[in-house]
Amino acid sequence: MSVLRADDEHWFDDAAGRLIRPYTVSDGRTEPTTRMDLLSMVIATGRRPHGQLGPDHAQALGLCDSVTTVAEVAARLRLPAVVTKILLSDLVDWGVVDTRSPDPMADSENPAVLETILNALERRL
């Protein structure tokens, strides 16, 4: 079992998992302000945020250095998709991340697309 030190940046324990509940990360919010789905593409704009970002927002922003999907960010953050969407929509509202609809060819009901996403998520976890 890992023991967290006072200087640990991430609140994660190898055995227990995330030590901070997802609703705390989203400040209790359940709906993002920007509409996006799991296949929506996100990328950092290069603008600097006003003020200091919290650790979860900063980590999400760091994952957006190159074009990635909401699903990929959620998998890397080990957060539920809705919480990740809330974090990303905050970043969009602050002008530090842009979002685009997924490629129309990436049909979210296509079994091949869903299998590709599932495989990518499993590799990250």
Mean pLDDT in consecutive groups of 10 residues from the start of the chain, 125 residues: 40 48 57 85 91 87 93 90 90 94 67 77 73
Task: Report pLDDT for 106.
Answer: 59
Does residue 54 form part of some domain? yes
Predicted confidence at residue 72, as pLDDT, reads 92
Q: Is 30 helix (H, G, I), strand (E, B) or coil?
A: coil
pLDDT of residue 94: 93
Instruction: Output the pLDDT for position 120.
Output: 77
Res 3: pLDDT: 37
> Within a domain: residue 4?
no
> At 85, which amino acid appears?
K
Is 66 part of any domain?
A: yes
Residue 2 belongs to some domain of the structure: no
Is residue 21 within 8 Å of residue 11, measured between CB atoms? no
- The answer as to whether 35 is a domain residue is yes
Structural domain harbouring 41 = 12-124
Within a domain: 3: no
Q: Is residue 7 in a domain?
A: no
Its pTM stands at 0.65
Contact 42, 68 (CB under 8 A): yes
Our count of domains for the chain comes to: 1
Evaluate whether residue 1 is within a structural domain.
no
- Residue 98 bridge partners (DSSP): 43
Q: Which among 93, 105, 97, 102 has a CA at the least distance from the CA of 38?
A: 102
